[in-house]
Copies of this chain bind each other. A is one copy, B any other.
């Protein structure tokens, strides 16, 4: 009788490589992640640029440690709390790649005495505030909008950028370190060639801004760029000084869609227990919802939402994506997988299904407390 009931049978237990996983859990394939790090670090080295990876993707001291083996000593994060976390794990040179939040000035002052802290500014209001309240040396990067239109001063507003640099310069505690941009519009690109084109355009624009600032008396500003699609698809980073990709350590379905990675480079998946099957409508109900995967989705060619791809568990993590199988709906804790009869007859209530998320940064953020390395 037990042969029908999945998880409890010896047969299925033997086939279940993760009996210790009871609820939605982020699986990280260490070998793949390290391979991704090695590749990116190697490309940065070959181009002679600084590799300052963004740690917002993993937010993990353990994963951070893997980067040290490739000589990484400078990192990027997206919040002050994340900077404090990594500082407490020995990182001593940290960029908070987010427009400076002046309400946090007291915590910034404390941290800036412990580590070499880099901050982003884009307005005179913020710089004037810092002139009055900064209690430690701060390395400021002017946030430039090179085309993404999210934040930053447009790259060709040379007068405004030079005025901001001049304002920073008047304070002995504030250094103008360089110009920083995030070309997030690569995520909206229709092809890999378009992504490479955006990268070239971004680099040229940042160089033009730098040249104008050199003429205004700021001769040695660095250029920092970096988004995973461009950093994955471009081979030669000459012309910039620093790259800051983050997502590439895990990659995800979004990056696969963009063409910035191959399926076998994806290093993170969410193990989700199967809690019900509905063969009549080709659906499996997972314990794994918006609070585990996030609500990020891509649209399929057919115009339906896809919140993740699915694979079967394997000792090394998970197998190839199952064909015609994907997470089609999410509520707070439920995930609904659309699939065919083959998987429905094969998988049992109590088994795990591995969901490769659309956006691994958000899934990793949600599952910070529930991670397993394989």
Contact = CB atoms under 8 A, between A and B. Distances in A.
A332 B362 contact: yes
Nearest to A100: B275
A151 B98 contact: no
Interface in A311-350: 329, 331-334, 336, 348-350
A150 B184 contact: no
A179 to B, nearest CB: 16
Q: How large is the interface on A (under 10, 10 to 19, 20 to 34, 35 or more residues)?
A: 35 or more
A185 to B, nearest CB: 12
B334 A98 contact: yes
A101 interface: yes
A334 B100 CA distance: 12
B362 A79 contact: no
A165 to B, nearest CB: 17
Nearest to A151: B285
Nearest to A157: B280
A29 B332 CA distance: 23
A78 B23 contact: no
A132 interface: yes
Interface stretch (A118-126, A213-221, A234-242): A118-126
Interface stretch (A2-10, A63-71, A193-201): A2-10
A361 B349 contact: no
Given A79-B23, A151-B334, A362-B295, A5 B128 contact: yes
A314 B270 CA distance: 41
A357 to B, nearest CB: 12
Interface string A57-88: 00000000000000000000011110000000
Contacts of A125: 4-6, 348-350
B123 A78 contact: no
Number of copies: 2
Give chain A's interface secondary structure class.
mixed
A373 interface: no
A241 to B, nearest CB: 24
A349 B22 contact: no
Given A1-B128, A5-B125, A22-B107, 6 more contacts: A4-B125, A23-B80, A122-B276, A126-B349, A295-B362, A332-B365
Interface of A: 1-2, 4-8, 21-23, 56, 78-81, 98-104, 107, 122-126, 128-129, 132-133, 143, 149-152, 184, 273, 275-278, 281, 285, 287, 290-291, 294-296, 329, 331-334, 336, 348-350, 361-362, 365-366
19 contacts: A2-B132, A5-B132, A8-B102, A21-B103, A22-B101, A23-B81, A23-B101, A98-B333, A98-B334, A99-B287, A100-B275, A101-B273, A101-B275, A101-B287, A125-B350, A129-B349, A150-B329, A294-B295, A295-B296
Closest A-B pairs by Cβ, 10 of them: A99-B275, A295-B295, A102-B350, A125-B349, A22-B103, A151-B285, A5-B125, A78-B333, A99-B276, A101-B287
